[in-house]
Amino acid sequence: MVAKSVLELVGNTPLVELQRLSPPGVRLYAKLEGQNPTGSIKDRIALAMVEAAEASGELEPGRELLEPTSGNTGISLAMVARVKNYSLTCVMPENATEERKRLLKLMGANIVLSPASEGTNGSVHAALDLVERESRYFMPFQYANDANPRAHYDGTGAEIVEALDRVDVFVAGLGTGGTLMGAGARVREAFPDAVVAAAEPLPGDPVIGLRSLDDGYVPPILDVAKLDRKLLVTNADSVAGVRALLDEEAIFAGISSGAVVHVAQELGSELDEGVVVCVLADGGWKYLSASFWAAEDVEAAMETSIWW
Partner 1 sequence: MITIRIPPTLRTETEGEATVEASGETVRDLLDDLTGRFPALRERIYPGGELARFVNVYVEGEDVRTREGLETPVADSSTVILLPAMAGGC
Active site residue 256: yes
Active site residue 114: no
Residues 6+ apart with CB under 8 A from 272: 25
Return d(Cα 188, Cα 145) in angstroms, integer.
22
Binding status of residue 231 toward partner 1 by CB under 8 A: yes
The gap from C-alpha 127 to its chain's centroid, in whole angstroms, comes to: 20
Among 140, 182, 203, 274, binds partner 1 (CB under 8 A): 203
Residues 6+ apart with CB under 8 A from 292: 235, 239, 298, 301, 302
Stretch that binds partner 1, among 2-10, 16-24, 149-157, 194-202 (CB under 8 A): 194-202
Return d(Cα 28, Cα 257) in angstroms, integer.
14
Count of residues of this chain found to bind partner 1 when the rule CB under 8 A is applied: 42
Minimum separation from the CB atom of position 35 to partner 1 (A): 19
The sign of the CA dihedral 188, 171, 33, 176 is positive
Q: In degrees to the nearest 10, what's the CA dihedral of 6, 8, 10, 16?
A: -110
Minimum separation from the CB atom of position 219 to partner 1 (A): 7
Minimum separation from the CB atom of position 197 to partner 1 (A): 9
Stretch that binds partner 1, among 25-33, 78-86, 158-166, 209-217 (CB under 8 A): 209-217
Tell which positions 48-107 bind partner 1, by CB under 8 A. Answer: 69-73
Q: Catalytic pick from 40, 114, 238, 256?
A: 256
Return d(Cα 306, Cα 308) in angstroms, integer.
6
Using CB under 8 A as the criterion, which residues of the chain lie in contact with partner 1 when the complex forms?
69-73, 120-121, 124, 142-143, 174-178, 200-203, 205, 207-209, 211-214, 216-219, 224-225, 227-233, 306, 308
Q: Which residues are known catalytic residues? A: 42, 256
